[in-house]
């Protein structure tokens, strides 16, 4: 008799597929476990649905991100405890991996799975299924007899080649296509990152380890998923997709031979792009690569060194020129307002952003204000001048992509907000009546920082209110 395992993806405002829940659910033996995945974004009353499914289940697992998803996960846990207190609640994901003690001791979770979840969660499910209790599994924290959090032994990263492919049949893929407004299938073929960026939590969660599905398996899986779901676009959610040049080349060659015609996008570091041979990028382009996302972060070599990005500005520019030659678009992400950012670094970021934006209408620029992500090196360094939440409820209101650090001068905030808005129209591909006039005006504003009386922004904000991102 198959035992039910329930997984929950808390409510959020973005429509990326619930790949974390999908990963741990796919790692369970389908002959022995009936995995049911509930997405809070798709349900009118997700907590009621969870309670209905939880009765008699082995456990309920939740993938929790920092920010608003915490509040929904806490409310879901409370509803489960009230209705079926005998069913263990397991949290995993980024926030629990960074703050496992708080998640257990504040009563949100009975067990926390830290870091890569597939093997640890499967071991926990096996133990719970035979009545073995919640304690003792490697890669987890659990509640002790006095309510204290107890840490289990660490678990090394599992080679992704040893894990089964994601079972997309666990989720209503067509519904996600509908909500996204395009047939975009999110996939992940590697986890972790070998780099040491001081603002990123990945080194804390994965210990700078990396594992990728071999190219032949990746191509076979993409071919099957493309046959089954007919996506127009594959969106690789890997932290650093281009980590192994030979693997990427083999994937591109395999896609060309497979007949998969979906275009694809992925992440690319500027130093990786600088070293990537033209012939490999050409194969990627021929196989469907249309856009990469590049974390530039800063506009001077001095600040890039200070945040341990291990990239130079010249590498960013050479990567941009290479992408331009091959007709590949890019999203260039910047972070402004770092604690070490002086006038030169701030001006350097805007100058580099303008230079990249001018190169191609297919080059987009995004600017975020620095917010210390919990658990990172920079978060520890600014702890004396930044008030961090002290509870899970507090972290549920933490917007790590919005807001401004107290040390950022108001005039810088105004310039960034102005550039953010006008650069889209100054160098974009917008086509509407009067677009040429709007483009000239926007370019004048963005090139010279002329942001006084931003009537265009007022009208746009009135017609399309901004959405909170976390």
Q: What is the mean pLDDT of residues 339-360?
A: 96
Task: Name residues whose C-beta falls within 8 Å of residue 434's C-beta, 6 or more positions apart in sequence.
Answer: none
Task: Name residues whose C-beta falls within 8 Å of residue 1's C-beta, 6 or more positions apart in sequence.
Answer: none
Domain match, 74 and 137 both: yes
Domain match, 231 and 366 both: yes
Domain match, 74 and 136 both: yes
Q: What is the mean pLDDT of residues 299-325?
A: 98
pLDDT digits over 203-219, tens only?
888 999 999 999 999 99
Domain match, 143 and 239 both: no
Strands 140-143 and 149-151: antiparallel
pLDDT beyond 60 at 470: no
- Structural domain span for residue 371: 182-408
pLDDT digits over 188-208, tens only?
999 999 999 999 989 888 999
**Number of helices and strands in the chain (H, E):** 20, 15
CATH of the domain at 63: 3.40.50.280
Which of 151, 173, 199 corresponds to the end of one domain? 151
Q: What is the mean pLDDT of residues 182-187?
A: 98
C-alpha torsion sign, points 257, 260, 262, 266:
negative
In a domain, 84, yes or no: yes
Mean pLDDT of the chain: 94
pLDDT of residue 455: 83
In a domain, 235, yes or no: yes
| Half-sphere exposure in the Cβ direction for 358 (13 Å, CA) | 11
Which of 375, 408, 441 corresponds to the end of one domain? 408
Domain match, 205 and 336 both: yes
Q: Calculate helix-pair angle for 118-129, 19-26, nearest 10 degrees.
A: 50
**Is the separation of the CB atoms in 299 and 345 below 8 Å?**
yes
pLDDT digits over 28-55, tens only?
999 999 999 999 999 999 999 999 999 9
In a domain, 169, yes or no: no
pLDDT beyond 70 at 467: no
Domain match, 103 and 70 both: yes
pTM here is 0.94
End-to-end Cα spacing for the chain: 40
Instruction: Band the pLDDT of 13: cuts 50, 70, 90.
Output: confident
**Is the separation of the CB atoms in 58 and 125 below 8 Å?**
yes
CATH of the domain at 186: 3.20.20.70
Domain match, 242 and 292 both: yes
Q: How many domains does the chain have?
A: 3
List C-alpha distances in Å: 418 to 125, 244, 411, 453.
Answer: 51, 38, 11, 11
Domain match, 399 and 306 both: yes
* CA 382 – CA 116 distance, rounded (Å): 28
Q: What is the mean pLDDT of residues 394-407?
A: 84
Q: Is 246 left (phi over 0), alpha (psi -120 to 50) or beta?
A: alpha
H-only helix segments in 374-454: 377-381, 392-395, 410-426, 435-448
Give all strands (DSSP E) within 321-459, no chain letters. 329-336, 363-369
pLDDT of residue 468: 54
In a domain, 399, yes or no: yes
Domain match, 398 and 433 both: no
pLDDT of residue 324: 98
Domain match, 393 and 429 both: no
Which of 130, 151, 172 corresponds to the end of one domain? 151
In a domain, 468, yes or no: yes
**Could you tell me which residue, 72 or 375, shows the higher pLDDT?**
72
Give all strands (DSSP E) within 40-85, no chain letters. 60-63
In a domain, 466, yes or no: yes
Domain match, 87 and 216 both: no
Q: Is 452 helix (H, G, I), strand (E, B) or coil?
A: coil
In a domain, 175, yes or no: no
pLDDT of residue 374: 78
pLDDT digits over 216-261, tens only?
999 999 999 999 999 999 999 999 999 999 999 999 999 999 989 9
pLDDT beyond 90 at 340: no
pLDDT of residue 463: 66
Strands 263-267 and 3-9: unpaired
In a domain, 168, yes or no: no
Domain match, 282 and 326 both: yes
């Amino acid at each position: 008799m198959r035992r039910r395992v329930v997984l929950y993806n808390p409510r959020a405002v973005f429509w990326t597929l619930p790949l974390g829940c999908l990963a741990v659910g796919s790692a369970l033996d389908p002959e022995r476990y009936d995995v049911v995945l509930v997405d809070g974004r798709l349900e009118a009353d997700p907590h009621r649905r969870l309670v209905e499914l939880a009765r008699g289940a082995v456990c309920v697992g939740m993938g929790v991100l920092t920010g608003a998803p915490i509040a929904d996960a806490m409310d879901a846990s409370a509803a489960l405890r009230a209705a079926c207190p005998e069913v263990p609640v397991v949290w995993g994901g980024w926030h629990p991996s960074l703050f496992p003690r708080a998640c257990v001791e504040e009563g949100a979770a009975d067990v926390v799975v830290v870091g890569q979840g597939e093997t640890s969660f499967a071991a926990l499910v096996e133990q719970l299924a035979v009545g073995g209790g919640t304690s003792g599994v490697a890669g987890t924290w659990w509640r002790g007899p006095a309510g204290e959090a107890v840490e289990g032994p660490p678990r090394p990263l599992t080679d992704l080649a040893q894990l089964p492919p994601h079972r997309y049949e666990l989720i209503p893929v067509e519904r996600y296509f509908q909500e996204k407004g395009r047939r975009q299938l999110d996939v992940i073929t590697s986890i972790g990152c070998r780099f040491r960026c001081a603002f990123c939590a990945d080194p804390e969660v994965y210990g700078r380890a990396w594992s990728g599905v071999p190219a032949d398996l990746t191509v076979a899986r993409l071919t099957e998923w493309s046959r089954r779901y007919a996506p127009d676009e594959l969106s690789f959610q890997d932290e650093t997709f281009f980590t192994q040049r030979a693997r990427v080349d083999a994937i591109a060659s395999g896609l060309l031979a497979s007949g998969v015609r979906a275009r694809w996008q992925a992440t690319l570091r500027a130093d990786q792009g600088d070293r990537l041979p033209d012939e490999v990028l050409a194969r990627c382009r021929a196989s469907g690569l249309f856009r990469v996302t590049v974390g530039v972060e800063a506009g001077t070599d001095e600040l890039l060194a200070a945040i341990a990005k291990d990239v130079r500005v010249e590498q960013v520019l050479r990567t941009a020129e290479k992408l331009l030659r091959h007709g590949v678009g890019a999203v260039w992400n910047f972070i402004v307002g770092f604690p070490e950012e002086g006038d030169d670094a701030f001006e350097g970021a805007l100058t580099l952003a303008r230079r990249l934006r001018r190169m191609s209408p297919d080059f987009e620029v995004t600017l975020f204000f620095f917010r210390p992500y919990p658990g990172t090196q920079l978060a520890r360094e600014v702890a004396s001048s930044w008030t961090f939440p002290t509870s899970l409820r507090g972290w549920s209101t933490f917007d790590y992509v919005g807001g401004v650090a107290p040390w950022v001068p108001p005039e810088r905030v105004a310039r960034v907000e102005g550039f953010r808005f006008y650069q889209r129209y100054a160098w974009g591909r917008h086509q509407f009546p009067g677009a040429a006039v709007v483009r000239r005006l926007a370019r004048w504003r963005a090139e010279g920082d002329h942001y006084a009386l931003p009537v265009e922004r007022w009208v746009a904000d009135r017609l399309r209110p901004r959405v909170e991102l976390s």
